[in-house]
């Protein structure tokens, strides 16, 4: 680490002035200056930074768009764009995925780097956490090498100050060749100045050019030689800075090598120059060229930190460290996770269902009242004259959709608690604590984060973003294994099925049963991962350093926004997909018509009834009758449909005198139902096929239909085996 932190001024620096108009210029058709930059109109700025540096907070605050502010990956994987203006300056912002580096090893990193290098934004805004400067600057160094105009948002400056860290921003700005603006992203401090600096850097003359890091004399000599050969290739330098290509080639970057082979007229010359350079570096240092270059980058970063950061010694052990020494402890840590999840489940039933704190009723009572009394009463008048329309409204809409919406209070409470946990930073700790356990089963820390996104904390999850979150995994095998087990987590859509059956058969043990289902989903997912690792995906695990963001006090607004977004998604799904599938199923249960008043006979006569009955000889081993089969088939579309369909079926059951009662009450009173059957149904719903949306995403993310099909088949077979076992044992016990 003897590297001079000051970049020398004498090594070749290819200004973008030498490159012809970039693709981005042509797209927008705006007049550009000699540096390939926008002269008028909106500037395009890419926001890059480490995960948890506060990118999303800054992006949201600047653009006013409500985007999820969460600590897990996957949320910013999709590229988000927004507009910001300040002091007459206009900037179009693109939120890149959060990454620690810009290698070609992970999809996220590739997405971020390709955007900067190929789309050539007018300026890159690098969000850097001041509380974790050293690690964050590693990315900065790599951005500098791409030679786009750069602005540093020194975020978390409040946190750094509290930790006694002082940063000399003026000096840092000189050393990096980029403006450094202190910000507090979640409270919008410094963002006006950030926009001004961003627009000015993009539009102004390149007085403060970003300088690439120097790798020291020996490496620089070799980089120069390769860069010279690269520079001869018109097609290459039109798209990439020659020096950047040279460094990447020496690092052994396969992606760039591929590009060179595609674009260069004499790729062989470049490759042989690269080989010579690598050999020279390796013989000089006795280490691989890739390692030497990475070391130099760290050296540069260490230098910057040494030059610009003053830390007051007394506040070294901060609050975050103190909490972490308990929460991340080898033994207390996992115990704490269990305690948190259990309390979560216990609390939601109290708040949403048991305490009559809302004008004499619980929130759940109110929703039930709305559907069972008010709405059912409204359509009751239709029954004598228009029985089919009444059946459609009463059974299909109120029974189906109402059955799903009845769980909104519970789900909303659950989402709110999980949002608090996410915003404090505790969710990242859960990942850290369980990482060790995961490795035993062939998964790794980042898989853990995907599983939490998928509902691994017991709530609020969805397998669709979870499958997308696997993009942060480097190894293809790690990715596929994670993708295939993530749908086993208890996502938000399975929860209403559990809640309905728990209310019917385990009313005195609500939190305990929900907790057991949570533990079971983990056991099954880990078991499945272990088996997949031993069979289909054998291979080495990749190491990964887990990062722990500092704790934050969640803001009320943040928690409410988060909760509302998810609740609204749930409600909207109930009103669209679930409603459509339920109506389809209602029709399948109502036709062909039979001239009878007996709902049970009609059901047996219908298409759905016949399909359900045909499956019964097999499914009865798990305790499922033809009506459960219909509901479970509907569940392939989305798991909420299971509750909806059961609502329709039991609303149709005219022979019962319990029309006005909720589904749970009806099932509890039905002699053909038992706790064993309920339990079997719950584990079946937990395990069986990912919903259609998840299957589509698995297909898209894995690139193959094969994996989507595999995910569907293996889970359904496994679900049946487990459910049948549970049912048979349950019956023996009674
Ligand atoms: P991203 O992963 O980079 O998109 O980071 P987020 O925007 O999701 O922020 C992660 C966490 O840090 C959230 O809980 C934010 O509220 C919080 N946060 C963001 N910026 C700041 C800041 O400047 N100071 C403090 N104390 N917290 C921040
Ligand atoms: Mg984010």
Distance 569 CA to ligand 1 centre (A): 24
- Cβ atoms within 10 Å, residue 657: 8
| CATH superfamily to which 16-203 belongs | P-loop containing nucleotide triphosphate hydrolases (3.40.50.300)
**Angle at Cα 627 formed by Cα 626 and Cα 633, nearest 5°?**
90
pLDDT higher than threshold 60 for residue 730? yes
Peptide bond into 592 cis (omega under 30): yes
pLDDT in tens, 73-89: 343 456 778 888 888 88
pLDDT higher than threshold 90 for residue 637? no
Length of the chain: 734
Distance 306 CA to ligand 2 centre (A): 29
Q: What is the mean pLDDT of residues 127-136?
A: 91
Cβ distance 638 to 577 under 8 Å?
Answer: yes
CATH assignment of 217-311, given 1.10.287.1770, 1.10.10.10, 1.10.10.60, 3.30.1360.120?
Answer: 1.10.287.1770
* Ranges 161-175, 322-336, 589-603, 712-726: which has the least confidence: 589-603
Q: What is the pLDDT of residue 34?
A: 37
Q: What is the mean pLDDT of residues 138-153?
A: 91
Q: What is the pLDDT of residue 356?
A: 83
Sign of the Cα pseudo-torsion (267, 273, 279, 282, in order): negative
Q: What is the pLDDT of residue 6?
A: 36
Looking up tokens 């228009």 gives 386
pLDDT in tens, 287-307: 788 888 888 888 788 778 877
Q: Which residues pair with 166 in a beta bridge?
A: 310
pLDDT higher than threshold 90 for residue 155? yes
Cβ distance 39 to 30 under 8 Å?
Answer: yes
The strands making up 89-95's β-sheet, listed across from edge to edge, are 80-86, 89-95, 43-49, 123-129, 150-155, 180-182
pLDDT classification of 181: cutoffs 50, 70, 90: very high
Atom of ligand 1 nearest to the CA of 70: 8
Residues 162 and 165: their CA atoms lie apart, in Å, by 7
Ligand nearest to the CA of 191: 1
Q: What is the pLDDT of residue 410?
A: 81
pLDDT classification of 209: cutoffs 50, 70, 90: low
- Residue 373: both structure tokens together: 């009394």
pLDDT classification of 8: cutoffs 50, 70, 90: very low
Rg, the chain, Cα only? 29
Q: DSSP for 223-239, please give it.
A: HHHHHHHHHT-HHHHTT
Q: Are strands 309-311 and 165-167 parallel, antiparallel or unpaired?
A: antiparallel
* Ranges 320-329, 361-370, 516-525: which has the least confidence: 320-329
Distance 475 CA to ligand 1 centre (A): 28
Q: What is the pLDDT of residue 65?
A: 54
Q: What is the pLDDT of residue 19?
A: 34
The burial class, CB within 10 Å (0-12 / 13-18 / 19+), for 27 is exposed
CA-nearest residue, atom 28 of ligand 1? 186
Atom of ligand 1 nearest to the CA of 76: 4
pLDDT classification of 540: cutoffs 50, 70, 90: low
**Angle at Cα 385 formed by Cα 380 and Cα 387, nearest 5°?**
65
- Residue 387: both structure tokens together: 């029985």
Q: What is the mean pLDDT of residues 355-382?
A: 84
Distance 112 CA to ligand 2 centre (A): 13
Cβ distance 154 to 137 under 8 Å?
Answer: no
CA distances from 240 to 31, 76, 115 (A): 21, 26, 12
Of the candidates 543, 548, 603, which has an alpha carbon nearest to the alpha carbon of residue 321? 548
Q: Where are the alpha helices (DSSP H) in 121-253?
A: 133-145, 157-162, 169-176, 191-203, 217-231, 234-237, 242-250
Q: Where are the domains of the chain?
A: 16-203, 217-311
- Report the percentage of the chain scoring pLDDT > 70: 85
Cβ distance 645 to 631 under 8 Å?
Answer: yes
Ligand nearest to the CA of 74: 2
pLDDT higher than threshold 90 for residue 379? no
Sign of the Cα pseudo-torsion (418, 423, 426, 431, in order): positive
Ligand nearest to the CA of 52: 1
Candidate from 62, 68, 69 with most ligand 1 atoms within 8 A of CB, to mutate: 69
- Residue 233: both structure tokens together: 């290739």
Task: Write down the pTM of the prediction.
Answer: 0.57
Cβ distance 74 to 472 under 8 Å?
Answer: yes
φ, ψ of residue 374 to 5 degrees: the values are -70, -60
CA distances from 505 to 103, 500, 640 (A): 53, 9, 19
Candidate from 48, 52, 80 with most ligand 1 atoms within 8 A of CB, to mutate: 52
Average confidence score pLDDT of the chain: 80
Q: What is the mean pLDDT of residues 622-651?
A: 85
CA distances from 382 to 77, 377, 407 (A): 50, 10, 27
Distance 186 CA to ligand 1 centre (A): 6
CA-nearest residue, atom 15 of ligand 1? 186
- Provide the CB-side half-sphere exposure for 401 (13 A, CA): 23
Q: What is the pLDDT of residue 4?
A: 37
Of the candidates 524, 386, 478, 417, which has an alpha carbon nearest to the alpha carbon of residue 701? 478
Residues 274 and 254: their CA atoms lie apart, in Å, by 13
pLDDT higher than threshold 60 for residue 665? yes
Distance 625 CA to ligand 1 centre (A): 50
pLDDT classification of 687: cutoffs 50, 70, 90: very high
Cβ distance 98 to 50 under 8 Å?
Answer: yes
- Provide the CB-side half-sphere exposure for 254 (13 A, CA): 4
Helices 55-63 and 191-203: angle between axes, nearest 10 degrees: 90
Cβ distance 638 to 381 under 8 Å?
Answer: no
Element (H, E) at 154: strand 150-155
Residues 34 and 30: their CA atoms lie apart, in Å, by 13
pLDDT higher than threshold 60 for residue 544? no
Of the candidates 595, 596, 613, which has an alpha carbon nearest to the alpha carbon of residue 604? 613
Distance 423 CA to ligand 1 centre (A): 9
Ligand nearest to the CA of 47: 1
């Amino acid at each position: 680490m003897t590297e001079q932190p000051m970049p020398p001024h004498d090594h070749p620096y290819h200004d973008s002035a030498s490159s012809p108009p970039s693709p981005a210029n042509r797209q927008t058709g705006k007049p550009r200056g000699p540096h390939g930059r926008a002269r008028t109109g909106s500037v395009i700025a890419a926001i890059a930074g480490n995960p948890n540096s506060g990118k999303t907070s800054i992006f949201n605050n600047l653009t006013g768009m409500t985007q999820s502010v969460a600590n897990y990956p996957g949320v910013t994987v999709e590229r988000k764009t927004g507009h910001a203006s300040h002091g007459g300056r206009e900037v179009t912002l693109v939120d890149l995925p959060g990454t620690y580096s810009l290698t070609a090893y992970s999809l996220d990193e590739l997405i971020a780097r390709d955007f900067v290098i190929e789309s050539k934004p007018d300026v890159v805004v690098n969000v850097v956490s001041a509380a974790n400067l050293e690690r964050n600057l590693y990315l900065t160094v790599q951005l500098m090498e791409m030679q786009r105009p750069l602005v540093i948002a020194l975020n978390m400056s409040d946190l750094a100050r509290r930790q006694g860290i002082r940063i000399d921003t003026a000096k840092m700005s000189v050393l990096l060749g980029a403006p450094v603006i202190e910000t507090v992203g979640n409270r919008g401090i410094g963002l006006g100045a950030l926009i001004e600096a961003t627009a000015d850097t993009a539009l102004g003359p390149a007085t403060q050019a970003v300088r690439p890091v120097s790798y020291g004399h020996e490496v620089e000599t070799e980089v120069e030689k390769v860069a010279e050969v690269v520079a001869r290739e018109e097609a290459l330098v039109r798209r990439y800075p020659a020096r950047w290509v040279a460094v990447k080639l020496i690092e052994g970057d396969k992606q760039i090598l591929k590009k060179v082979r595609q674009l260069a007229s004499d790729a062989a010359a470049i490759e042989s120059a690269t080989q010579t350079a690598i050999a020279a570096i390796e013989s000089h240092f006795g280490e691989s060229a890739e390692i030497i270059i990475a070391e130099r980058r760290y050296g540069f970063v260490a230098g910057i930190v040494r030059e610009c950061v003053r830390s007051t010694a007394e506040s070294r052990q901060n609050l975050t460290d103190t909490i972490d020494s308990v929460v991340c402890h080898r033994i207390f840590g996992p115990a704490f996770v269990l305690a948190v999840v259990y309390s979560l489940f216990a609390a939601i039933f109290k708040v949403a269902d048991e305490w009559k704190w809302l004008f004499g009723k619980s929130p759940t009572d109110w929703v039930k009242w709305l559907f069972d009394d008010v709405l059912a009463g409204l359509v009751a008048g239709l029954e004598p004259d228009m029985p089919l329309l009444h059946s459609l409204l009463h059974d299909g809409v109120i029974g189906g959709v109402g059955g799903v919406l009845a769980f909104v209070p519970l789900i909303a409470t659950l989402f709110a608690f999980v949002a608090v946990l996410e915003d404090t930073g505790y969710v990242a700790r859960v990942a850290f604590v369980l990482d060790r356990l995961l490795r035993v089963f062939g998964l790794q820390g980042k898989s853990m984060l995907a599983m939490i996104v998928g509902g691994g904390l017991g709530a609020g999850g969805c397998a669709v973003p979870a499958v997308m979150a696997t993009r942060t995994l480097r190894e293809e095998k790690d990715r596929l294994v994670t993708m295939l087990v993530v749908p086993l987590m208890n996502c938000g859509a399975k929860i209403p099925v559990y809640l309905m059956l728990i209310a019917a058969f385990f009313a005195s043990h609500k939190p305990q049963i929900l907790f057991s289902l949570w533990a079971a989903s983990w056991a099954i997912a880990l078991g499945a991962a272990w088996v997949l690792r031993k069979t289909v995906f054998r291979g080495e695990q990749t190491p990964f350093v887990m990062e722990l963001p500092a704790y934050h006090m969640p803001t009320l607004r943040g928690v409410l926004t988060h909760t509302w977004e998810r609740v609204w998604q749930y409600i909207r799904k109930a009103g669209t997909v679930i409603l459509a599938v339920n109506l389809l199923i209602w029709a399948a249960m109502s036709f062909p018509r039979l001239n009878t008043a007996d709902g049970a006979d009609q059901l047996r006569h219908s298409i759905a009834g016949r399909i359900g009955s045909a499956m019964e000889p097999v499914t009865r081993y798990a305790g499922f009758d033809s009506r459960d089969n219909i509901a479970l088939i509907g569940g392939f579309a989305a798991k909420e449909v299971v509750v909806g369909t059961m609502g329709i079926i039991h609303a149709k059951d005219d022979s019962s005198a319990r029309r006005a009662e909720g589904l749970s009450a009806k099932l509890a009173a039905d002699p053909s139902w038992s706790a064993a059957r309920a339990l079997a149904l719950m584990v079946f719903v937990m395990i069986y096929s990912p919903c259609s949306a998840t299957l589509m995403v698995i297909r898209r993310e894995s690139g193959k239909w094969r994996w989507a099909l595999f995910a569907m088949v293996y889970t359904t077979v496994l679900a049946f085996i487990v459910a049948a076992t549970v049912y048979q044992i349950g019956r023996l016990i009674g």
